[in-house]
Structure 1
């Protein structure tokens, strides 16, 4: 299983925002330079984080992005699902439905990983 590059960037952006002054917005240009990534690509990914309610976009001269939620409330899973969605990584392609023993094992492993990522907060990294 592999997460997309957008998820990698999103997690790094969220860490940067958690470490930033909560009263100041961080520009997409600053974030793009810090991550050494295209501003256009980063803007599309940031739109997904805004849509998920994790960050907010601030207009104006001092505009940019800031956290919408308290940093202690933002989990790794929140960020990953904002970018990757909530679909399962595995789906049995044989025609025996939910009775597939292999699928049951893989889905159980995914649930355990999701539980771990839900409890792991981005803010935990700076403590």
Structure 2
């Protein structure tokens, strides 16, 4: 299984914003430079995080991004779902009337992984 680059950038963006203890605004250019990615590409990822209420966007010359007020409750899974969506990682293409043992195994494993990601928060790593 492989997550998209956008998920990688979203997780790192949340980490960089959380590391800023003054909660000042950080511009897309600075966030993009830290991750060595195009500001245009990163903007699309940031838009998804804003839409999900994980970060705030302040427009203007002195604008930028900051974490939402409830950022400490945001899990890795929340961030992944904001970027990747919530669909299952595995689909069984067998006849829908038959039992798919492989799908049961895959979904069970996915549920365990999601439970672990739900228990991990960016905030858990800020105060180490």
Class of the TM-score when normalised by the shorter of the 2 chains: over 0.9
Matches within 5 A, 1:115-126: 115-126=115-126
For structure 1, the 5+ residue unaligned runs are: none
Identify the residue that residue 21 of structure 1 maps to in structure 2: 21
2:117 paired with 1:114: no
CA RMSD across the alignment: 1.4
Identify the residue that residue 80 of structure 1 maps to in structure 2: 80
Q: How many residues align?
A: 127
Identify the residue that residue 44 of structure 1 maps to in structure 2: 44
Q: Is the 8 A contact 1:54 1:67 kept in 2?
A: yes
Q: Is the 8 A contact 1:22 1:66 kept in 2?
A: no
Q: Is the 8 A contact 2:54 2:71 kept in 1?
A: no
Structure (1/2) with the larger helix percentage:
1
Q: Is the 8 A contact 2:25 2:66 kept in 1?
A: yes
CA distance in 1, matches of 2:108, 2:71: 29
Specify whether residues 114 and 98 from structure 1 end up closer, same or farther in structure 2 by C-alpha distance, changes over 3 A only. farther
Task: Please state how far the C-alpha of 1:82 moved relative to its aligned partner.
Answer: 0.5
Q: Is the 8 A contact 1:50 1:56 kept in 2?
A: yes
Q: Deviations over 1:68-121 (max 9, x none)?
A: 143321100011000000000100011134721110110011111111101100
For structure 2, the 5+ residue unaligned runs are: none
TM-score under structure 1 length normalisation: 0.93
Q: Is the 8 A contact 2:17 2:23 kept in 1?
A: no
Specify whether residues 36 and 53 from structure 1 end up closer, same or farther in structure 2 by C-alpha distance, changes over 3 A only. same
